Amino acid sequence: MILSFYLSLTAFAAFGQLPVLSADALDVSKTAKRATDFAFDLFNGPTLQDKTSTKSPSELYYTTGGGVPYPQPFEAQRVAETGPLLLQDFHLIESLAHFHRERIPERVVHAKGAGAHGYFETTTDVGKNYSMADVFQRVGEKTPITMRFSTVGGEEGSADVVRDPRGFSIKLRTKKGIWDWVWNNTPVFFIRDPAKFPNFIHTQKCNPQTHLKDKDMFWDYLSSNPESLYQVMRLFSDLGTPYGFRHMNGWSGHTYRFVKEDGSWHYVKLHAVTDQGIKNHTIAEANILAGTNPDFGTQDLFEAIEAKNYPSWTVYIQALSPKAAETFKYNVLDLTKDWSYEDVPPQEIGRLHLTQNPKNYFAEIEQVAFAPGHMVEGVEPSEDPVLQSRLFAYPDAQRYRLGVNYQTIPVNCPYAPVANFQRDGRAVHDDNQGSRPNYPSSLEKLNLPKRPYNDANHTIWIGGAVRYLSTVSDIDFAWPKIFWHNLTKQDQDNFVGNVVGHLGMATSDVVKKRQTALFAKVDHTLGERIAHGINITLS
């Protein structure tokens, strides 16, 4: 072994002395021209592609992904006219490979949706009186927004007219960073214990064996968790089948805190009232549309904006001081309870306008990432445990759905400078914060903003760690009763018909009776009507 190594070294040394025919033999060091200064902007490419995407096809030639003109998109290279394909057919392979990767994971909930862009106009000083958020400081200021509406349970290709709550999300690109309002078209929600969320959602989606929607699962969960009842009643009224996305209101649901420069704060809920007026489908209309035009809501929104019939919503807050919250009739952190206008009057803060359709649905709506944790100075979360869980959930889902750099995707990108130490990761498309240090350098210091207010005085918690699960009591029937007794006779009749048509399809008598007993607790006649409709006796 050692001997052969020695021999080969000797042979190599001898070989190296020969005048071989290679570039090694050419000495260009004296004649070669040295480079002159040359630098170019790496973003010429993206800028050019941005401009290219606005051009009409007639101004452009077909190219590969690398921008190389290519004469025929349909052809494939093969051996003669009937032989196998050639691996060298880069064009064919590139187009197949890209196609295979077109889908990204759909949202685990709220997968089906539509959206558009526009602005939020600050219309009063009310916001400023409660919060130092920059967006409220100047009446008349317009903040660019993107809104997305969605159904909750269905897959991306499902009908958008079905009975389901509707998501109602708004991304505000404020001068001091992104503020996302990730709301629904309802003031309350089915749960107030966050660990229930994935389980509840499973019951609203498909049966693990049949892959069919399952009425027994659906009502088994709801009837066993009666804190859901007010949301269930709203859902089974005609509010559960809104006419598209323009004719419904939006609510923050959760309580947040609005904070001023001096650290004083209020609990607030936010609420957007449609300027188009409320309009719903009956179940008969929704069922027909689900078959004939399952994308009705998406189409209605797009066509209204194309026709310059711009939809808008007037936004209000309801504010409670911490003192008033202590004695308020409901726990202000309970997501299953609304605040009536009589108890906490609404105050206008601004208006949302949608004026611009997406040019590309995937880039601008599928890739949009809303997160309740995206808040600005002057806005803070309350201790509502469902909200606290949501602070974690959304960016976690989006790192999976869109990748760790999802905030640099154009539709998510803040209109405020970003300077921090987050770097690298999959799919860096911008300049990755350039050459700035990627740690808090003492040599090139990043300025640290002044803490806007002292938050030590916000709340003092007393107590040890507990395992918490809420329990149901009579107060959980207060809102269902208010809601039922405020429906018109026609709306009550529709409600009964909607429940009978759905609950009646469950097969378990136990489930049917348990849910009907809850309706009977809201109003005995209501319980009797449903029992009669689904052919059971009220126990």
Q: Which residues would be at the binding site for ligand HEM (CB under 6 A)? A: 107-110, 113, 148, 150, 167-169, 182-184, 189, 194, 197, 253, 369-370, 386, 389-390, 393-394, 397-398, 401
Q: Which is nearer to ligand HEM, 173 or 390 (CB)?
A: 390
Task: Tell me the closest approach of the beta carbon of residue 458 to ligand HEM, in angstroms.
Answer: 23
Q: How far apart are CA 325 and CA 319, in angstroms?
A: 10
Q: Which is nearer to ligand HEM, 194 or 381 (CB)?
A: 194
Phi (first) and psi of residue 323, to 5 degrees:
-65, -50
Q: Which is nearer to ligand HEM, 169 or 382 (CB)?
A: 169
Contact predicate 151/117, CB 8 Å: no
Q: How far apart are CA 393 and CA 391, in angstroms?
A: 6
Give the residue closest to ligand HEM by C-beta: 167
Q: Which of 415, 371, 368 is nearest to 176 (CA)?
A: 415
Q: Which is nearer to ligand HEM, 132 or 315 (CB)?
A: 315
Single out the catalytic residue among 110, 254, 266, 502: 110
Q: Which is nearer to ligand HEM, 119 or 168 (CB)?
A: 168
**CA angle centred on 277, ends 272 and 281, rounded to 5°:** 105
Task: Tell me the closest approach of the beta carbon of residue 184 to ligand HEM, in angstroms.
Answer: 4
H/E stretch holding 381 reads: strand 379-381
Task: Tell me the closest approach of the beta carbon of residue 528 to ligand HEM, in angstroms.
Answer: 33
Q: Is 498 a catalytic residue?
A: no
Q: Which is nearer to ligand HEM, 305 or 369 (CB)?
A: 369
Q: Which is nearer to ligand HEM, 166 or 512 (CB)?
A: 166
Task: Tell me the closest approach of the beta carbon of residue 447 to ligand HEM, in angstroms.
Answer: 32
Contact predicate 409/360, CB 8 Å: no
Task: Tell me the closest approach of the beta carbon of residue 387 to ligand HEM, in angstroms.
Answer: 8
Token pair of 457, please? 């005085």
Contact predicate 246/300, CB 8 Å: yes
Strands (E), 238-358: 250-251, 256-259, 265-274, 312-320, 347-356
Q: Is 184 a catalytic residue?
A: yes
Q: How far apart are CA 493 and CA 500, in angstroms?
A: 11
Single out the catalytic residue among 91, 117, 184, 266: 184
Contact predicate 411/293, CB 8 Å: no
Q: Which is nearer to ligand HEM, 107 or 205 (CB)?
A: 107
* 3-state SS class at 405: coil
Angle between helices 489-503 and 509-522 (to 10 degrees): 160
Q: How far apart are CA 377 and CA 265, in angstroms?
A: 12
Task: Tell me the closest approach of the beta carbon of residue 105 to ligand HEM, in angstroms.
Answer: 8
Task: Tell me the closest approach of the beta carbon of residue 329 to ligand HEM, in angstroms.
Answer: 21
**CA angle centred on 148, ends 143 and 152, rounded to 5°:** 145
Task: Tell me the closest approach of the beta carbon of residue 491 to ligand HEM, in angstroms.
Answer: 24
Count of alpha carbons within 13 angstroms of residue 15, beta-carbon side: 7
Strands (E), 73-207: 113-122, 142-151, 166-174, 177-184
DSSP conformation class of 175: T
Active site members: 110, 184
